[in-house]
Chains A and B, each alone.
Chain A
């Protein structure tokens, strides 16, 4: 599979980090039937912008993310990364998966260090840098643990370090904190915002949790219920940064935004439930 080789430089000013133009994604189901997951998707994410995508279950949130990552090929439309068409895997993006994606046979340290191997960095230096990154996500004392010896939140921290150590220009996150309990989600959200604030990348953050979306993002995109889901709303989030996720929920502006976006999302959620039980 081809990859974009260029790491930086040469980007035209004002170019979007990720741009989807009239993108449709379809799957062939068993029995040959074609299922259109999303269509007419137009989405542009500027460098340094944090965009959250919310939508009911089965609305194709992850599908959009996978198209931006190059893991899925759109049936039609164009995906451009910093102005260049995406030929295969998106080498300029890091991806944080919802499910456990760490290699279970590697320690936390090796899981993070392996991310530097494609950059041709020597093993000892890679391990030093991995150790530093694990320190930044609060796991300095857990470097030699295997994934099964870590809690769900700790595994997410390792995955976060694994993604960020490569310093990708685009961060794609697929309900990364979905499997965690409420408190851990807030802690992880704050950690993510801290790390992001120190080095702002373009982010597409997929979640089904509207509160999480508003608390984190600069802009919230609402998807309609599938099949053939599309974007039904775009809401800027003018909340000041830096934010504290557990505090920001108490602000009046947060409430107003929540009401406004929920009134849009609610329609789609009830449509999704009407189509079939979750």
Chain B
């Protein structure tokens, strides 16, 4: 199938979806449109609201806050995950001793930590960063741990026979291997950083996209909720595109660079 046909079909699916939404909410098909619109709004109203939001400076402040929280949660989570992943992979005793605690900590649904983080770190960005951290940390940790443990034994033996010291092995073999695994989970990790930020904002804050959505919801402003979701979606797509760009640059040596992990 050529690109143009595919693109046309993709657009068609979107338009059909919007059309169905429009017909069901504007015309009295399922009941009184006024009542239906209270629950589902209309595509026209959502788009108009989104446009209105995007053209006010207010929303950019909220986006900036959410972006900050996402980036900080990712950076801290990734740094912690790499450090501990390395440490545990290279130290079998440590890994064995801490194994049940790591499993337990990872089993805990992280959302329940949000209130306690709000209590510890306040309602500003740091409670959201903390929530995002707990999500990102484990993804990166497990991937780096796996990456270091599953270094190809042939590559490792070869590097040893070349006379590389333990430090040399770390630099030339373990580290790049761990990074590969980390990058393969980059999309997931960044996604979770964002989830941490938005959920944190939703549960208690005075700024950010999650706050905007919560604010609209608390006054039954369904149009506002949908508009917030649309902005959030666009935001995620942009971030994901940036991640793909970074990934393609860093993993040039991989057979099919850019394949989503």
Partner of A105, one of B160, B162, B164, B253: B253
Contact indicator B168/A118 (Cβ below 8 Å)? yes
Shortest beta-carbon distance from A102 to chain B in Å: 7
Residue of B nearest to A66 (CB): B157
With known contacts A103-B172, A148-B253, A148-B254, A119–B163 Cβ distance under 8 A: yes
CB neighbours (8 Å) of A117 from chain B are 164, 168, 172
Contact indicator B162/A114 (Cβ below 8 Å)? yes
Number of interface residues of A (CB under 8 A): 32
Partner of A3, one of B154, B163, B172, B180: B163
CB neighbours (8 Å) of A95 from chain B are 157-158, 161
Instruction: Let me know if B93 is at the binding interface, CB within 8 A.
Output: no
CB neighbours (8 Å) of B154 from chain A are 97, 99-101
Contact indicator A114/B164 (Cβ below 8 Å)? yes
Specify which of B154, B158, B160, B255 lies most central, judged by the most chain A CB atoms within 10 Å of its CB: B158
Contact indicator A91/B157 (Cβ below 8 Å)? no
Residue of A nearest to B164 (CB): A118
Pull 13 A–B residue pairs with CB atoms less than 8 Å apart, ordered by A. A1-B160, A94-B162, A97-B158, A101-B154, A103-B155, A105-B177, A105-B253, A106-B176, A107-B253, A118-B164, A118-B168, A146-B252, A148-B255
Residue of B nearest to A95 (CB): B161
CB neighbours (8 Å) of A94 from chain B are 161-162
Instruction: Let me know if B159 is at the binding interface, CB within 8 A.
Output: yes
Interface readout for A64-87 with B: 1 if CB under 8 Å, 0 if not?
Answer: 000001010000000000000000
Instruction: Let me know if B123 is at the binding interface, CB within 8 A.
Output: no
Contact indicator B164/A106 (Cβ below 8 Å)? no
CB neighbours (8 Å) of B161 from chain A are 69, 71, 89-90, 93-95
A154 to B159, CA, bound (A): 19
A106 to B168, CA, bound (A): 14
With known contacts A95-B161, A114-B162, A118-B165, A102–B155 Cβ distance under 8 A: yes
Instruction: Let me know if B173 is at the binding interface, CB within 8 A.
Output: yes
A99 to B176, CA, bound (A): 20
Instruction: Let me know if A264 is at the binding interface, CB within 8 A.
Output: no
Instruction: Let me know if A40 is at the binding interface, CB within 8 A.
Output: no
Instruction: Let me know if A162 is at the binding interface, CB within 8 A.
Output: yes
A71 to B160, CA, bound (A): 9
Contact indicator A105/B180 (Cβ below 8 Å)? yes
Partner of B253, one of A97, A104, A159: A104
Instruction: Let me know if A200 is at the binding interface, CB within 8 A.
Output: no
Contact indicator B160/A89 (Cβ below 8 Å)? yes
A159 to B180, CA, bound (A): 22
